[in-house]
Amino acid sequence: MRTLVAIPVYNEEQYVQRVLDRVMEYAPNVLVIDDGSTDATPALAASYPVDIVRRFKNGGYGRSMLEAFRWATIEGYDWIITMDCDEQHEPESIPAFLECAERDDADIISGSRYLVPKSNAVVPPENRRRINMLITEEINDRLGLSITDAFCGFKAYRVAALAGLHLTECGYAFPMQFWPEAFAAGLRISEIPVSLIYHDPNRTFGGPLNDDNIRLAHYRTVLHCALERNADRLPATALADLTCGCPK
């Protein structure tokens, strides 16, 4: 089972060396997708035996994910594990994803920060948790799923299963497009617990998405557009009262 660990980065000079040091203890095949960093991140990453895709202009989190999926497909990997580079995802969890993948009963293995025992959990910023819970609940209600964390970027994907998905979202709303596409394609989904870590609760999304109401509305727009686009493959409950405003 050939597995690639893909790490999107953007101005992560504070963390990138420590993250790569730890990741390479568990994964020999690593791809760094540099999304237009303007600090020392590219030079620091280049000192490691990893593959690097570098863009000179920031394109967004979703675009980095799409780049990672394309790379894994072209290079013939069986699985791809994605994780962040800000030390909020622990490389020590990589073996748990690999073990789950080896069981061969899922196509998407999604990390959940809300499956850890409450006594061990960190309290996330309230506004982020609220939006996460609202969107996760809507995804579950519309698709009949039971996921607990729609936003966690620590995931493992069966590469062959990604081929039938229509993914175009370039920004932070990428998961909102991904879940309807995965459901419509009949992909098998499982969750495993991962640690809930917030080093910098003041870290922002940038631009208008820093406004909670704007961010929530944007997430719903992307979600509803993805639901509408897959209307012929989704249950009727998924399509009730859509407010996407998608071009017809």
The domains found in the chain, sorted by start residue, are: 3-204 (3.90.550.10)
H helical segments located in the chain:
16-23, 41-45, 61-74, 94-102, 126-143, 174-184, 212-229
pTM: 0.92
Predicted confidence at residue 3, as pLDDT, reads 98
**pLDDT 10s per residue in the chain (248 long)?**
999 999 999 999 999 999 999 999 999 999 999 999 999 999 999 999 999 999 989 999 999 999 999 999 999 999 999 999 987 899 999 999 999 999 999 999 999 988 876 545 566 667 778 998 999 999 999 999 999 999 999 999 999 999 989 999 999 999 999 999 999 999 999 999 998 776 566 666 677 777 888 989 999 999 999 999 999 999 888 888 887 656 54
Question: What is the model's pLDDT at position 109?
Answer: 98
pLDDT at residue 126 in the model: 74
Provide the 3-class DSSP secondary structure of residue 52: strand
* Separation of alpha carbons 145 and 93, rounded Å: 24
The radius of gyration of the chain's CA atoms, rounded to the nearest angstrom, is 17
* DSSP letter assigned to residue 246: -
